[in-house]
């Protein structure tokens, strides 16, 4: 459930930031996806 939401969000954001997509896509774990998104946004 949460994973699908994160993936959809990542796809939308990826359209405006290809770098973010590179950070998010390789992680199958939803927790890692959330952490990677936060790390990129914090920079």
As to burial, measured by CB atoms within 10 angstroms (0-12 exposed, 13-18 middle, 19+ buried), residue 25 is middle
Provide the pLDDT for residue 10: 74
Instruction: Please report which helix (H) or strand (E) contains residue 22, including its range.
Output: helix 18-24
Condensed to tens digits (0 to 9), the pLDDT of residues 1-43 reads 678 888 888 777 767 665 555 555 555 666 666 666 666 766 5
21, 10 Cβ separation under 8 angstroms = yes
Sign of CA dihedral 19, 34, 30, 16: negative
Provide the pLDDT for residue 35: 64
Provide the pLDDT for residue 22: 59
Provide the pLDDT for residue 4: 85
Provide the pLDDT for residue 12: 76
Q: Domain map of the chain by residue range?
A: 2-42
For 34, residues 6+ apart whose C-beta sits below 8 A from its C-beta are: 6
pTM of the predicted model over 0.75:
no
């Amino acid at each position: 459930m949460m994973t699908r939401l994160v993936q959809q969000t990542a796809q939308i954001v990826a359209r405006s930031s290809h770098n973010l997509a590179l950070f998010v896509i390789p992680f199958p774990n939803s927790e890692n996806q959330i952490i990677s998104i936060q790390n990129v946004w914090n920079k």
